[in-house]
């Protein structure tokens, strides 16, 4: 599950409602992080990709996910302090490499965004054969940028793998999401999930089952949880 958020109260509801195994987060700040930990720390292990300004993070369900190791990878040429958070975990005895990131923002930074995508794809492709790699985050990517970089043969876009369902195409939609007053309305698939299946003998293959957008209900204040919709995705071992 990927969930981008800026308002805490509704964020706490989806983990309690859906009980996801993994939550991948972007644009965290310390007050929000402390608040969420206060309410969910009994059930989730928290990993943070920073401490200052806003940063990325993960939540891992304690009863099902065992954290083995984690690291923060800095993007060498970022001008926005963006990085990649990587966690090595065990799930039902199988090894997984989980990744999340918030790529460089704004149209003018396409070059840096593509460099960040290349780094992530390289990391995913280099994961050992007996490990499943899963990346999810706010990539800010335009389709043309992904086309220029390309994906390794071993990596798939989960949304595309599911047949490109229209109901969850756009995670950035200023026509529907009114949190920010944008003069020009736009829709983009900024938030993406990438999967690299394990290839080792006898290792179960992870397959996407479903994808839906969440965070589309307004709060009492009249705002949405975030200016992005979140993604709730289910996958199963074959």
Which residues form the catalytic set? Answer: 138
Residue 10 pLDDT level (bands cut at 50, 70, 90): very low
The pLDDT of residue 4: 33
Residue found under tokens 């054969």: 129
Residues in the chain: 238
Provide the β-strand partners of residue 131.
Answer: 95
The pLDDT of residue 154: 98
Domain limits, the chain:
8-237
The pLDDT of residue 215: 87
Residue 15 pLDDT level (bands cut at 50, 70, 90): low
pLDDT in tens, 212-233: 999 888 888 898 888 889 999 9
Average pLDDT rounded to a whole number, residues 96-116: 98
Residue found under tokens 């829709």: 187
3-state helix/strand/coil string of 81-103 = CCEEEEEEEEECCEEEEEEEEEC
In angstroms, the CA 86 to CA 97 distance is 7
Give burial (CB, 10 Å; 0-12/13-18/19+) of 7: middle
For 39-54, b/e burial (b = at least 16 CB within 10 A) is ebeeebbbbbbbeeee
Whether the full predicted model's pTM is greater than 0.75, yes or no, is yes
User: With contact defined as beta carbons under 8 Å apart, do 50 and 83 qualify?
Assistant: yes
Q: Spell out the residues 6+ positions from residue 212 whose beta carbon is closer than 8 angstroms to its own.
A: 167, 168, 231, 232, 233
pLDDT in tens, 22-79: 999 999 999 989 999 999 999 999 999 999 899 999 999 999 999 999 999 999 999 9
In angstroms, the CA 18 to CA 141 distance is 27
Q: At what angle do helices 30-40 and 8-18 cross, to 10 degrees?
A: 30
Residue 16 pLDDT level (bands cut at 50, 70, 90): low
CATH topology of domain 8-237: Deoxyribonuclease I; Chain A (3.60.10)
pLDDT in tens, 166-207: 999 999 888 888 888 878 889 999 999 999 999 978 898 999
The pLDDT of residue 6: 32
Secondary structure of residue 214 in the 3-state scheme: strand
In angstroms, the CA 105 to CA 151 distance is 20
């Amino acid at each position: 599950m990927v969930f981008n958020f800026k308002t805490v109260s509704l964020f706490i509801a989806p983990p309690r409602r859906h009980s996801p195994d993994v939550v991948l987060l972007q644009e965290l700040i310390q007050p929000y992080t402390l608040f969420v930990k206060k309410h969910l720390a009994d059930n989730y292990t928290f990993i943070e990709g920073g401490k200052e300004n806003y940063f990325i993070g993960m939540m891992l369900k304690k009863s099902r996910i065992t954290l083995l190791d984690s690291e923060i990878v800095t993007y060498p040429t970022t001008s926005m302090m963006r990085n990649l958070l990587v966690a090595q975990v065990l799930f039902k005895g199988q090894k997984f490499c989980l990744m999340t990131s918030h790529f460089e923002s704004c149209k003018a930074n396409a070059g840096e965004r593509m460099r960040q995508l290349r780094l992530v794809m390289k990391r995913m492709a280099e994961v050992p054969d007996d490990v499943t790699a899963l990346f999810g985050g706010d990539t800010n990517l335009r389709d043309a940028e992904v086309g220029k970089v390309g994906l390794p043969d071993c990596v798939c876009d989960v949304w595309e793998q599911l047949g490109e369902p229209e109901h969850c195409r756009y995670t950035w939609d200023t026509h529907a999401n009114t949190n920010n007053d944008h003069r020009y309305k736009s829709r983009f698939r900024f938030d993406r999930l990438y999967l690299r299946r394990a290839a080792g003998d006898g290792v179960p293959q992870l397959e996407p089952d479903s994808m839906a957008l969440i965070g589309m209900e307004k709060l009492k204040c009249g705002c949405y949880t975030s200016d992005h919709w979140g993604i709730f995705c289910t996958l199963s071992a074959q």
